[in-house]
Amino acid sequence: MAVNPLIIWRFRDGKPGHEQQSLGLIKALGELLPVEVNDFDVREHPVGLADWMLGRFPAGLVKHRPDFLIGAGHATHVPMLAAKKAVGGKIIVLMKPSLPAFLFDLVIVPEHDGLTPDARVIVTRGALNAMRPGEKKPDSVLILLGGVSKHARWDDDAVLRQVTTIVAALKPGQLWRITDSRRTPEALSAALAQRYGERFQPWAACPPGWLAQRLAGTETVWVSEDSASMIYEALSAGCRVGVIELPDANRSGRVLAGVAKMADDGQLAFFSRCQGRSEELPAPTLALNEAGAVAHQVLERFLADGDLS
């Protein structure tokens, strides 16, 4: 018997991290039930407080009444509230909202956001993402570097020393690649390009989907400590994960504390533990699949009792 698809309106703000979260949840829902997704870019169609108060939403964007309104990022909050008032649907907001949680039907947050799980709040290990394991290439290694952040003092020299040690420990002929990010200082990127040549993949030259494809097929991934989201993405892709350490990293802070706990639980290891030897990183047990777990909870909460408008 054919099943009517869930109608999902995805609210996007153009920020890759936010869109990775909403995509992760939608893909996971799509693995459980048929879904029809309509994207709404809040940059192209401004919706403000007056629209929310008056229950207005651009009529030309309404194709089918939504079951779920899903978005991440502060810029998506008011547009989702306006859409709900105008046409209905359950709002699922990702990350700690800038507005009170009671305004939304479900709030999904990483544990470092500090909210307590309840009937309206689901807490996850790290932010949701769309990464999934693929067929791993034997002995493959990927080194991912972030950059300047508020969670840890960035140090080009410290990072380069650790990268040098990791590369020196690789076996002859081993498959490996290193890439930077938008936050990586230009001087470090230039040094990596000069030292490693074609092994260095600048982020600006990565085609769409490059990282997801690489993570899916790579056995071992080293990630700089500032990049908590990439650490969780690598774990979700079923990789062995090592963490390149940064001076004065605030591991008691809300973001990096979750990474430190994963190390305590044996899910990953810091550079200092194995001195850059990839083969000594803990083997993955089960790939982290928070998006899949949340998708099951969403359907249990809203479909079990027919609780969809």
Same domain (yes/no): 106, 163: no
Dump pLDDT digits (tens) for 59-111.
666 667 899 999 999 999 999 999 999 999 999 999 999 899 999 999 999 88
Helix/strand number for the chain, H first, E second: 10, 12
Range(s) of the domain holding residue 122: 6-130+290-303
CATH number where 96 lies: 3.40.50.2000
Note whether 185 and 52 are same-domain residues.
no
Q: φ, ψ for residue 236 (rounded to 5)?
A: -65, -25
Torsion sign across C-alpha atoms 245, 278, 174, 211: negative
Q: Cα(231)–Cα(254) distance, rounded to whole angstroms?
A: 15
Which pLDDT score is estimated for 254? 73
**Structural domain includes residue 309:** no
Question: Rounded distance, CA 275 to CA 147, Å?
Answer: 21
Give residue 235's Cα distance to chain centre: 11
Which of 158, 210, 137, 150 minimizes the C-alpha distance to 183?
A: 150
What is the chain's percent helix, strand, coil content, to nearest 5? 40, 20, 40
Q: Give the pLDDT of residue 1.
A: 40
Instruction: Report pTM.
Output: 0.85
Residues of the chain with pLDDT under 50: 1
Q: What are phi and psi of 191, to 5 degrees?
A: -65, -40
Domain co-membership, 159 together with 258: yes
